[in-house]
Structure 1
């Protein structure tokens, strides 16, 4: 199936791990020109090579911490060496802390909000003028099912992802007249299966990741409240399953879809 992405410049933030990496590889397989933003230069170099092997005519890694307000301009500048940005995937996000809100550290609240929502605002703000001028573009935001139901022990993260979903809807209303579509994917419990996707910044990294550090302190009761049942024969999703939806929404095949938030959850929210 031709997705209409051949030769199109596609920016992916948080590209070196998990869902972001899978999205980058799927875009590459469609012949897009991925611009890969991330903090892990070694993982970025591997990903560039993998993207070219998958079929990307060219791919560029940009070493950028998206928490830095200067990073979007640097990413955009690197992207425009390949051509005008046609696709933006705001994938960067994660968890700064976990636990009950009453026990949370107020000094960490803004870190969760900025990582998951501020990064989306800044990168989108950087690419929109060019998309508006060209009357063409697709923005795909990676939200979370946490925003739809509230993930137990992740209160601020859930709220920040809710903001991503709301922003998706209102931005679609604003920019539709300029030929730009805006949609979101809400993943559920996506666990990387490929060791190559565990970059230094991944929350699943066994040495540095938040989930690895915090698992021992979670009680059995807490585990039960956090776990939902799926209806597809396994409890967790694969990054490739999220990527499939994201790349579809970025493609010409989704030309009549905008302002939507799609849960890819294996039926967990039923």
Structure 2
């Protein structure tokens, strides 16, 4: 018996590094996974890899910043895979600039993807979970939300808002048997991090600085995150809600 047998899980940003790794892990634990991504081709690639490994997954094109797209995709999941048991809000986007160098268009996209998109997903999925009186929600925030991060002011604000939002929903929906928890990655070797690194004047020096600052001595990998996400998504965490866990090699140590 696997921890997520018979469960249907949605993973937003499922076509990316952490999202793809999470899809593979949840499927390996028995879940049937709805891979949500604005890039359908990327989602289909992950879903195909899951199926090739013996798991169950289906790709869905979804722009989480648009409520109509979210509602349509949720309806498709319901028809194809059944009621949603697990929601992993993983999709994110960042721009690396000092705050005074950012523009309104940067703020709007950052807030739309990193905060409003998650609000859309919760608002669409929670009523069904409430009706069934069960559900697991795992929100992927960032250590930038806990300690700040130079060049990521608006991103950190959005991710900090997601942490506070998660704790509030955990209180509101505990009586419905729904848990809401947060995983905060530290610097992780994803396409987004590669953009950040490559924009630096000396990428190699930047990497060395990160590695020195992380007690475990390396940058995180996408496969470092799914274990924590799968725990919160499972009944092993049935008595855990409103919690925030950093997966950052010790970069952030918060009690």
TM-score, L = length of structure 1: 0.86
Residue 263 of structure 1 is aligned with which of 246, 249, 254? 246
For 2:169 and 2:142, locate their aligned partners in 1 and report how far apart those are by CA, in whole Å.
18
* CA apart distance, 1:70: 1.4
How far does residue 43 in structure 1 lie from its aligned partner after superposition? Answer: 2.2
Could you tell me how far apart the structure 2 residues matched to 1:225 and 1:115 are? 29
Aligned-residue RMSD, C-alpha:
2.2
User: What secondary structure, in the 3-state scheme, does the structure 2 residue paired with 1:235 have?
Assistant: coil
Q: What residue number does 1:16 align with? A: 15
Distance 1:224 1:31, change over 3 A: closer
CA distance in 1, matches of 2:48, 2:231: 23
**Please, which moves more after superposition, 100-109 or 164-173?**
100-109
Tell me, yes or no, if the aligned pair for 1:10 and 1:85 is still in contact at 8 Å: yes
Q: After superposition, what is the alpha-carbon deviation per residue over 1:76-135, rounded to whole angstroms, capped at 9, x for unaligned?
A: 11211211000000000120x221112221332121111111111000100000000000
Matching residue within 220, 241, 249 for 2:232 = 249
Confirm or deny: 8 A CA contact 1:151 1:226 kept in the other structure: no
Distance 1:214 1:251, change over 3 A: same
Give yes or no for contact 2:65–2:120 (8 Å, CA) kept in 1: no
The one of 128, 131, 134 aligned to 1:133: 131
Counterpart residue number, 1:199? none
Superposition pairs for residues 216-235 of structure 1, below 5 Å? 216=201, 229-232=213-216, 234-235=217-218
Q: Using a 3 Å threshold, how does the CA distance of structure 1 residues 204 and 263 change in structure 2: closer, same or farther? A: closer
TM-score using structure 2 length: 0.91
Give yes or no for the alignment of 1:238 onto 2:236: no
- Stretch moving more, 166-175 or 74-83: 74-83
2:54 alignment partner in structure 1: 55
| Number of residue pairs the alignment of both structures matches | 252
SS, match of residue 192 in structure 2: coil
**Alpha carbons of 1:217 and 1:116: their partners in 2 closer, same or farther (altered >3 Å)?**
farther
Distance 1:213 1:67 in 2: 27
Cα drift, residue 231 of structure 1:
1.9
The CA distance in 1 between the partners of 2:64 and 2:110, in whole Å, is 13
Equivalent residue, structure 2, for 1:164: 162
Q: 1:100 to 1:228 in 2, by over 3 A?
A: farther
Residues 15-39 of structure 1 show CA distances to partners (whole Å, capped at 9, x for unaligned) of 0011111110001101111001112
Which deviates more from structure 2 when the two are superposed, residues 65-74 or residues 154-163?
65-74
